[in-house]
Structures are given as C-alpha cells and as structure tokens.
Structure 1
Amino acid sequence: MSSPSGPKIAILIPAFNEELTIGSVVLQARRYAHHVLVINDGSADKTSEVARMAGAEVIDHHINGGKASALSAGFNELKKRNYDIIVMMDGDGQHLVQDIGALIAPIIDDESDLVIGSRFMKKDNSIPLYRQIGQRILNRATNVGSSKRITDTQSGFRALNKKALQNMNFQSSGYAVEQDMILHCSEQGLRISETPISVRYDVPNGHKQGSLSMGMGLLNNVVATIGYKRPLLLFGVPGALLCAIGLVIGILTILDIYFIGSWLMQSLMAGFMVMVGSTLAVSGLSLNSLSMLMRTNMSK
C-alpha cells in the first residue's frame, strides 16, 4: 500500500472475463494504492469473485457495456471519494505495476493533470510491427483532432489528478475511450504528458477484439471527431486541393483544344474535380461556421 503521508491513490481496473489474471493484478496493485476498484463488465467467468478475494472493491455490471461504460462507472464512483490520484490500468496483466511510480510523478510534482503511459517512448519495446503501424496511424489522426503530440494515444495505462477526474464527463463508446479522453482533456485545457512504460504481450487474454476491426472503429471515431472539431481541415483542404487539380486539368484541356483538338475526357475530369472540390470546400466552411456557433453557445 502507498504511504499514508503521501497522496491518496485509487486504482481503477475495467475487467471483462479476466479470471486468469485479475487476482494477480489486484494483489500487485494494492501495494501501490490505498484502494483498488474493479468494474466487472458483465463477465461470464469468475472475474468478480477472484477480484474480491484479492482485496478489490468490485462493482458488477450484469451486461457487457464495453470499456468506455466500465470506466465511466468507475469515474462516477470515484468522484464521490477524496482521492488525489486515480490510476487506470487493464485487468489482463499487460501493464506493469512497477511503472505506477513514474506514471504518477508528474501529477505529484503538479506538472500534469493527465499522464499517459507510452509504449513508444522506449526504444526496446516489444510491440508487434503490425500494431506499431496501426498505432501510429491512430496517433496521427488523434493528434490532429486534439492539437497535441501524443506518442501513444491508445494506451490504457494512465493517471489523473482530481481536476482531470472531475472533467471525466465526456461521451464515448467501446475502446475509443482512450482517444476520446485525450480529445476531451485537450478541449478543456488540461495539461497532458507522457511517461515511458513497458507492456507484456504474453498474457492469456490480451486480445478480446480483432485488431483490424477495432482499429478501423477507432479510426472512424477519430475522423468523425475531426469532422466535428476541425471541419475545414477534413473537408476544406481536400476540397481546395481537388479544385486546384481540376483547374490545372481544365487549363491543360483548353491548351489541348487549341493545339490538338482533343478535349472530352480531360474536360469531364476537370469538371468533376472542380464540382466535388467546391462541394467539399463549401461543406467545410459551413460546418466550421456551425461548429464555431455551437461552441459559442455552449460557452455562454
């Protein structure tokens, strides 16, 4: 357990069918925290019983609502209590409890409100290549939406202070909760930082959802968020680019007509690009104006 004279720390663990690992995770986590809260998200095995036997408080969900739902329930419960730091970690044993000290240090030093454990800040990480490629794509997309430079936007190993905890009132679903948290905290002006962590991939139950389907769902969520928060970037820039290409093709077509007499295919292509580009550009401007109006109304 953490020192009585230090900050009060609670560890929040969402769990779904983790009976093989949750006991060990809870026992190790208790050495670093005053309290361990497990949200049993509709598990069909003995996750709840094993977590309780290991010394955790357990809140049971009778149906599986997804990671976002489990974390939301945990945040709402911990808001009622007087903890200084909340540590989020998974129940499958991938996260190493010995990294908790480094994770909470920026909060103790009042340098950050949200600290993310990054798997990419260590050169000797054991992340499979296909995961690294997918993660970097998601990182770029999330960073565009948040205007931050985060190296591991999908990491579930995080620490929050009281201020960040009270701001955990955003809407999310499934595994998109990590990136939605970054986008929300960025919008709220909270300080976000990262610290290097190590991760185990040789755990019994580490992949509950296909990496491809999960990655596509996360990317779709980020693109939708960018479309809402930065519509000019998502629609306006491609629209302007298409218009420019269409105009260039149009000019070349005019030259072809003058010198060669061929024009049909080029003119159709030019007209199509200008039309699509203009539509995207106008959509971007309209959505940007609507987004600014909505934010103004929300701030009043």
Structure 2
Amino acid sequence: MAITAAAVKELRERTGAGMMDCKKALGETNGDVEAAVDLLRTKGLAAAQKKSSRTAAEGLVGVAVSGTKGVAVEVNSETDFVAKNEQFQSFVSNVAEVALGLESDDVEALNAANYPGGDTVQDALTNNIATIGENQTIRRMKTIGVSSGAVVPYVHNAVTPSMGKIGVLVALESSASADVLEPLGKQIAMHIAAAFPLALNADGLDQDMLERERSIAKEKAAESGKPENIVEKMVDGAMAKFAKENALLSQIFVMDNKTPIAQVVEQAGKEAGAEIKLTEYVRYQLGEGIEKKEEDFAAEVAATLGS
C-alpha cells in the first residue's frame, strides 16, 4: 500500500526516528502507525512514545477545589479561537463548579445537573453551541479527595488561574497545615504536568500496556544473541526501569533531578512533624488520546467543485 506523507510525519514526530526509517517501518507494517512505533522501538531506532505527544482537540481543562475535594473537567471545542471566548471560559468555570458538587464522575449526570441560572448543564451547552456557532462537548471529569489534608490544583498554560491546556490535582492526606501542604502539592503538581506519570505506583500501571512493553523488551533483548536466562533478566530489568520511570511515587523529582517523589513527600512530612501521604492525582491534558482529522483544504475545494 502507498505510504502517505502524513503517516511518515506523524511517525517521525512520535518517535524521533529518521524519515527513511519511518517509511520503511510503515512499509513493513502496511501503514499501521502504532505497529510501526513498536517496530522502530524494537529495532532501537526510536525512544518510547513521547508522553507529551501532540494533542489535537481544542478547548479547555478546568479545575475546581473546595476544602478536601477537587475536580478536573475537560470541555472540547473545534478551534482554539473558541477557547479564548469569554462565554466559553465562563461555561467551563461554571461546569467545573457544578461537577465539584456531584457524587460521581459520570458525564451524563453532569450534563443533567443544574447549571447556574436555572438550566441544566446540557441546556447551557446547547445554548453555547448555538450562540458561539461551534460544536462543543464535555468529554470527561475526575474527582479526588482526602478525609483530612488538601487537594492542590495546578494549571499549566493557564488562560485563567482555574483553566488551561493541562490541569493537575494532587491529593495529600495529612494533619499538617495548609501552609505546608499547598506549596508541596503545587511542586508535585508541576512535576506531574512535566513528567506525565501513568499511575501513582507500579501496581496501578495498565496491564495491557505492560504486556506491550514486555513484548518490545523481549524482542530487543533476544536480538543480543545472549542465552535465554540472560535475556529474561534483561527483560525484567527493562520492565523494572519502565515501572520506575512511569509510576509517580518512584519518578525522580524534576525540581532537583535526584530525589524520588515518595522521598520528597516523606521528607516534607518529617519537617512538618506530621505524616503526609500522596494518595491520588489527576492529570488532564487537553485533547489527550483524541486524533483530530487534518483537513486538506485544496482537496476539499476540489471535491466541492467536482474535480
């Protein structure tokens, strides 16, 4: 099959591999980009998929916190222009506050909830679409909380203090005072925004993802030509490294580039004279996991004209 320039471009952006290597990998995988990523990694021609890979959907992530409870909500729009619209920003802010009062993370329940002014959230969204003239959707929400302590918010690339491109919440269970927990939580949230952990600890990592990583590691190790028992040890070592680098508590703190997050939290607790536990977090990046269709304007015009 023909390999498109768009597929080569996407594969290069995701792996950092050379153009010819990308074209060859796509040829060997019949144009399957995901399979090509794995193939390049197996051959040692690509790093792990970039965590901050391009996100295409527009809109805003909003966060809201009240006491020991916090929520993050993603509201998508078609263009970044709408994300700069005050009406849309007000809607995202209000939706986050409404979500904070719910008992579940069900978007359907959020849509049916009362919106300030008397409408439901869905009614307000429909009105937004009609008046702004662009489709918008509430994509997801996540609530976290602690029995005592603090939930600390952080927004990266913020358009206002409560919304932007990346929203993070950090739950710290502790009897320590807010003047200890707030700055600690913010530093950890900034780390999360930058380091993109996949789970709180190794036990929380997705099993399907781990199997995929193990398969890649096994193929790479097998190419070394070493005995099977050595290959297994190489695979186990690669998986341990993967877990350490992708579980939040074992990640190295970006602020000092040497201390695991678990130790950062433990040390803060010792200095405060009260145990601090990092129990949960949320990291929402706008458009994460959404592939947006890239329009070919020339082709669209040609099609319209019947060419």
Coarse TM-score class (shorter-chain normalised): under 0.3
- Which is richer in strand? 2
Structure with greater Cα Rg: 1
Normalised to the residue count of structure 2, the TM-score between the two structures is 0.25
- Which is richer in helix? 1
